[in-house]
Amino acid sequence: MNKGQLVDALEARLGSKKAAAEALEAVVDTITVTVAKGEKVAITGFGTFERAARAARTGRNPRTGQPVKIKKTSVPRFRAGTAFKQVTSDTKALRAFTVSAASRAASATIGAAARVTGTRTAATPARKAASATTKKTTATRATTAKAATKTATKKSAATKTATKAAAKKSTASASTRATKVSTAGRTLAKKATTTPAKSAAARTLAKKTATSAPATKAAAKKSTAKTTAAKSATARTTATKSTAKATTKRAAKKA
């Protein structure tokens, strides 16, 4: 019988192959570690597991036949118990042990089945509790999600109102600036139209130009008359001179 067959045999008693494998692994591991530490593992009726020391000796290599020195070592040892030896050597004892082992296996299988059903019945309320907890968690998640969405919508509405207020403020400031500019232009226009000194100076200049215009015209006429008279006098003088010259020439010719 190997390890797999031993697990199958234990499965008939424990009701689960996994449980049988775990139980066998636990027993083997416990025995190995305990013996390696130098302690004994005694199972009543079965035997004793212990560590034995071997002294240094001289051996031979089986291939070459040469002598080889073997160091001092420690090896595990199993000593069978009295019941194990008796069952192994006596046929009647083997039959009695087989019957008792079968009865123990039957009782073990019944207990395993009861344990399995008990675990199933115990698992149902646990499953119900788990489902209830999952429902609660989903409900809480849904509520938190709704609250988060509500807060997000509130924040978005607040931002929208803030942007509207900012736009209103900007338009109001622009309108106030425009009104200020328009009032400044009006005041400048009023100032330009209501400067009496400048308007009076302009009026006096206009009067002076109007009065000086005929005087300049008369002076121009007088100057032109004088120039024409001087021109006529010079013409007369030149005419008399020319006639005198002509008469002198004529008298000279006659003489």
d(CA 200, CA 202): 5
How does DSSP classify residue 15? S
Q: Which parts of the chain fold into alpha helices (H)? A: 3-14, 17-36, 82-89, 91-193, 196-254
Phi, psi angles (nearest 5°) of residue 74: -125, 135
pTM equals 0.42
Q: What is the pLDDT of residues 87-133, one digit of tens each?
A: 999 998 889 988 888 888 888 777 666 666 665 555 556 566 666 66
Note the pLDDT of residue 79.
Answer: 94
Beta bridge partners of 191: none
C-alpha distance from residue 249 to each of 153, 235, 236, 238, 240 (Å): 133, 21, 20, 17, 14
- Side-chain half-sphere exposure of 201, counting CA atoms within 13 A: 4
Would you state the structure tokens that stand for residue 10, as one six-digit string?
Answer: 């234990």
List of domains in the chain = 3-55+73-127 (4.10.520.10)
Beta bridge partners of 79: 48
Q: Sorting pLDDT into bands at 50, 70 and 90, what band is 252?
A: confident
